[in-house]
Structure 1
């Protein structure tokens, strides 16, 4: 009987760290060290979203149409008619910055400091929303994915309910094709360690 090749390190569990950045003009240039994908998010002014309800989900779908001829029961070819990608998660930190992220921009005016610090948020009007770059860095640092241009098209519904029910900001960012000076594809993924198998 044949024996399957099992690579335990390639079976991943658990969440990672989600970052965002407005106005991305240059893609990150990570390196590999110690079998990890290394990139300094802090120096490069990316912001962590903090805790989520259930981590991040990336979905990529491809729509195809079959090309048929009368002489064949099978399609002679399939052509791609549409591709769609979404990045979704539910923010557990209901901060002013995360609120702005969920609403596709807006302005935050801060007055005071310390115990007198007050933030006032004003949402963007339709057409004034902004795009954002998103990044996912796995906790073991073997994987990094960056989507340079995303737009939240989901319904943001936050409930203040029973005391034991935490409030969330659910988002579903649609992945867009960025400016070609940034990247010519919708995202880029780097791997190191057990996930790096490219030849």
Structure 2
């Protein structure tokens, strides 16, 4: 049996940058230079460090169409799709708290060492969607989810001295305004990942 052709550049490891922005923020115009993706993330905010990086999951629900004369289905149809972007933010800042809670308001008083921020969560129906982005460590892969909503439970423990706090989130990717993008996400690649057909 012939061995497969191994492409080391397509075997990816390591984390990347996770960014978010309000709905309607300009999506970077990506180009490739020296096998890296370049683009300006104007007004996008980084979430900072995470527990284990980002996990993207896409699932497809299906149903089999059967007939009495066949043991196999004659067709399998798609009955639903869902996409999830999950990570746990290690930076438990006020802006990351607001991201995890689907909005709310932060008011500030004082400056410098007297600065005090007060957060008020959104009421039901006042939650907001955001845009999410990811740029790989090698800067050869970028993903944009133009409309997401946190559907996960946010649990942040305050335990022993060596127990690190975190803000877990699980964003559901939604179909965005077609003026922004006509799909729930878009992926750009360069270098050895940009294999094409």
TM-score interval (norm. to shorter): over 0.9
Aligned match of 2:168: 170
Task: Determine if contact 2:62/2:79 at 8 Å carries over to the other structure.
Answer: yes
Task: Tell me how far 1:148 sits from its aligned partner.
Answer: 0.5
Task: Determine if contact 1:35/1:192 at 8 Å carries over to the other structure.
Answer: yes
Task: Tell me how far 1:128 sits from its aligned partner.
Answer: 0.2
Aligned ranges 1:7-86 → 2 under 5 Å: 7-24=7-24, 26-41=26-41, 44-86=42-84
Task: Determine if contact 1:25/1:182 at 8 Å carries over to the other structure.
Answer: no
Determine the C-alpha separation between the residues in 2 that align with 1:161 and 1:27: 39
Deviates more, 1:16-25 or 1:177-186: 16-25
Task: Tell me how far 1:73 sits from its aligned partner.
Answer: 1.2
For the aligned residue pairs, the C-alpha RMSD in angstroms reads 0.9
Unaligned residue ranges in structure 1 (runs of 5+) = none
What TM-score, normalized to structure 1?
0.96
Deviations 1:99-144 (A, max 9, x none): 0000000011111111111111110000000001001100100000
Determine the C-alpha separation between the residues in 2 that align with 1:66 and 1:174: 26
Q: List 4+ stretches of structure 1 deviating above 6 A.
A: none
Q: How many residues align?
A: 197
Deviates more, 1:186-195 or 1:17-26: 17-26
Task: Tell me how far 1:25 sits from its aligned partner.
Answer: 5.1
Unaligned residue ranges in structure 2 (runs of 5+) = none
Determine the C-alpha separation between the residues in 2 that align with 1:27 and 1:17: 15
Task: Tell me how far 1:21 sits from its aligned partner.
Answer: 0.3
Determine the C-alpha separation between the residues in 2 that align with 1:89 and 1:29: 25
Task: Tell me how far 1:71 sits from its aligned partner.
Answer: 1.6
Task: Determine if contact 2:88/2:167 at 8 Å carries over to the other structure.
Answer: yes
Aligned match of 2:122: 124
What TM-score, normalized to structure 2?
0.97
Task: Determine if contact 1:91/1:98 at 8 Å carries over to the other structure.
Answer: yes
Task: Determine if contact 2:134/2:143 at 8 Å carries over to the other structure.
Answer: yes
